[in-house]
Amino acid sequence: MWSGVFPAVTTKFTADDRLDHAEMERCFGLQIDAGCDALIVCGSLGEGPMLSHDEKIEVVEIARKVAGKRPVLLTINEAATRDGASLAKRAAKSGADGLMVVPSPIYHTNPEETVATLKAVATAGGLPVMIYSNRVAYRVDVTVDVMEELASDDLFVAIKESSDDIRRSTEIFNRFGDRFDVFTGVDNLAFEALAVGAVGWVAGLVTAFPKETVAIYQLMK
């Protein structure tokens, strides 16, 4: 369903701490003009967790204006499942094309809770979901066994693999074949991940070097 370079774009602010619509339109446009394949907004390792839900929806709507036919995904990384589900519903109404969902960064869920949280958010939004697996930053490992619990649900279409171990990508392919669209989420493992079969790259590097990142992806493919 999804492939290519998906920038985790940054949120721009004015000097008085308001969302800078014009600067976001300009910077998001640079990503699209460089050949990126989607936009992911309100990323969880940037300013996203500090934004209100209203601000996050504003950013979705700005990105949607710029992206044209390319998908816009909203990152869901709420501490509480109920808040993640509420935001997922709003994202669907605002025109988001998908969600990138992180298990709670505050409460470190066990495998059963991780499955329940991801399913609750996906069901609430009714949008295609990229599972964000990042045990290094969030201390919750969305393991291959957890992914198997989710594989029967068609809303889960992709995985952002950020375990920092390239062997995890191979394990996903060995277990699921092409069931999930596998994206690398670690810039300095992009070469390795694309070499073993990843179809996409959720990039941070791309926000500073859009054309160069797209060129690396295209050369690897």
Q: What is the model's pLDDT at position 136?
A: 86
The residue ranges of every structural domain in the chain are 4-220
Q: What one-character-per-residue DSSP string does the chain give? A: ---EEEEBPPPPB-TTS-B-HHHHHHHHHHHHHTT---EEES-TTTTGGGS-HHHHHHHHHHHHHHHTTS-EEEEE--SSHHHHHHHHHHHHHHT--EEEE---SSS---HHHHHHHHHHHHHHH-S-EEEEE-HHHHS----HHHHHHHTT-TTEEEEEE-SS-HHHHHHHHHHHTTSSEEEE--GGGHHHHHHHT--EEEESGGGT-HHHHHHHHHHH-
Residue 12 pLDDT grade (very low, low, confident, very high; cuts 50, 70, 90): very high
* Mean pLDDT computed over 68-89: 97
Quote the pLDDT of residue 47: 86
Give residue-wise pLDDT tens across range 136-183: 888 889 999 999 999 999 999 999 999 999 999 999 999 999 999 999
For domain 4-220, the CATH superfamily is Aldolase class I (3.20.20.70)
Q: What is the pLDDT of residue 184?
A: 97
Instruction: Please give the share of the chain, as a percent, with pLDDT higher than 90.
Output: 92
Query: Model confidence over 21-59: pLDDT tens digits?
Result: 999 999 999 999 999 999 999 999 888 889 999 999 999
What's the whole-number mean pLDDT along residues 81-92? 98
Give me the pLDDT at residue 48, please.
87
Is pLDDT of 106 > 90? no
Each residue's pLDDT tens digit, 107-145: 889 999 999 999 999 999 999 999 999 888 888 899 999
Q: What pTM was estimated for this model as a whole?
A: 0.96
Provide the pLDDT for residue 128: 98
Lowest mean pLDDT among 76-90, 99-113, 198-212: 99-113
CB 96 within 8 A of CB 88: no
